[in-house]
Structure formats: C-alpha cells, structure tokens
Amino acid sequence: MDSKERKNDSRHRLVIAFGAIAAICILIAWLFTAMQFVCYHDYDMYIEEYEKYDVLSDMPAGVKLRGENSLYTVTEHMMKYLIGDKDTPDLQCQIDTAEGTRDFFVERELLHMADCQVLFKKALQLRYVCIMLAIFLFVYSKYAVLAPRRKGNLTQAEYVPSEHGIAHPFAQGMKIGTAIFFIFAAAVAAYFVFNFSTAFVQFHLIFFDNDLWLLDPRYSLLINILPEGFFFDVVKKILAVYLPGVVLLLVLVFIRTKKQPLKKESA
C-alpha cells in the first residue's frame, strides 16, 4: 500500500468514526424527543394514570381541592412550568386540609420541580447540540474529508472500494454507532424494567445534587399523585416510542450500506 492509499484508508476510517458519532448523536436527540412527546403531548395520560393508581384515595386525610381546581389543572400548570412555558412553579392552586388552607405544593416540592425544570432544559439543549453536531459531521465528511477525488472513473467522495462492491463510509459508521447504542439502550432499558426501584433511586442520585426528591407522603402531594408506578409506566411508554425509531435507523443504515455493483461515471 503506497502513501496515497494509506492516506485514503485513514480518511475513510475517520469518516466511519464520524458516522458512528453522528448516529449516537441522532439517537440521543431522538431519546429526548420521545421523552418530550410522552410527557407533554397529552395531559390526559396523567389523568388515566391518576385513575389507575387511585391517587385521590392515597392523599393525606382531609385534603380537598378548592373551587375550580382539579388534578388536570394542577398537572397542566406543573408540566407547563417544567417545560419552561411558565417562569414560576406557583400553581395558584390551594387545598383544604385538616390543618386549614394551604398551597397544593409545599416549598420542598417547588424547589425539586425547579431542579427538574433545569434538568429538562439541559436535556433539550443537549438535543439541539446533538442534532447540529450530527449535521456538521455529515457535511464535513462529505465536503472536506471526502472531497471528490478521481480514481480511475470512480468518485471516492461517494464510494469506498471493497472486494464485494461499494458502500458509503459515513453510512458504515452510522451502522456501527447505531448498533452500539442499541445494545447500550437495550441494556439500560432492561435494567430499568427489571430493577426499577433501584434504577429510580440511582437516577436521582446521579442527576440531582440534593435530597429534595426525597418527599414525605404525609405532607407531599407530589409523591401522592406521581407514585413510583406512574414513572414505571412513563418509562415503558417512552421505550415504546423510542425503540422503534432506533430499529428504523438500523434498518435504514443497513440498506444504505448494502453492497452494490461498482458504479462508473459516464465519460
């Protein structure tokens, strides 16, 4: 292999690496999109979960929503705050308790929701970064690393010679990246499904630097309307949206990297 061939080989390996990184970026962005879709697309999902777990009966004795307030209204205000559509978590919702009238959420819950809002905003920012990085890697690979270079009557910007045919190196990299991420995502999903309580605690320990998420069900209504089973159901719904997208990307890159007869340009 002469120096020119070694240079071309290293260039193609670089593009394969870029493709793998781009695929992982796309799948991370798709994960956050699936989360947003499940959590914010339809508030009726929350009402169905409230009914499933009969959360009203689990509330502290004597608690009663006042006036026009309802769990749907509470949920709508809460989710709008968490996604950033509201600047403050103040629900302007009060309840009657055995001790008198109080706000629906106590200060500890409001502080925890503020942490959740910051976390979700960072997730959305990371999604946009991943999308832009994937686009950049594709464009850079096509127009900088694999700029058209004539070799006989083939254009190396489009094809990589192999003994069986030709395949685009960026798509090859995406196949590798998608497969790696699929295995990782499947392992994490299995861990959450079969060890949810442990995974739920570990998630909070990793992503929160305080213990505000540890709420007392005697005083906290947040933990009463959103029990652990609710989050387990949400995780399953997210996986139901997310995993088909991963499989679709795998299928597309496998089709794109399928060996084809060598193409020649017309003279």
Give 216-245 pLDDT, tens digit per residue: 888 788 888 888 899 999 988 998 999 888
Q: Are 77 and 85 in contact (CB under 8 A)?
A: no
- Decide which of 3 and 198 is more confident: 198
Q: Is 69 exposed, middle or buried (0-12, 13-18, 19+ CB in 10 A)?
A: middle
Residue 30 has pLDDT above 90, yes or no: yes
Among 207, 192, 181, 204, CA closest to 239? 192
pLDDT digits (tens, 9 = 90+) for 111-137: 999 999 999 999 999 999 999 999 999
Nearest to 222 by CA among 60, 19, 26: 60
Alpha carbons 119 and 39: distance in angstroms, whole number = 14
Return the residue matching tokens 């919702």. 93
* Contact (Cβ atoms closer than 8 angstroms) between residue 212 and residue 108: yes
* Domain ranges within the chain, ordered by starting residue: 3-256
From CA 98, how far away is CA 12, in angstroms rounded? 71
Query: What predicted TM-score, i.e. pTM, was given to this entire model?
Result: 0.80
Length of the chain: 267
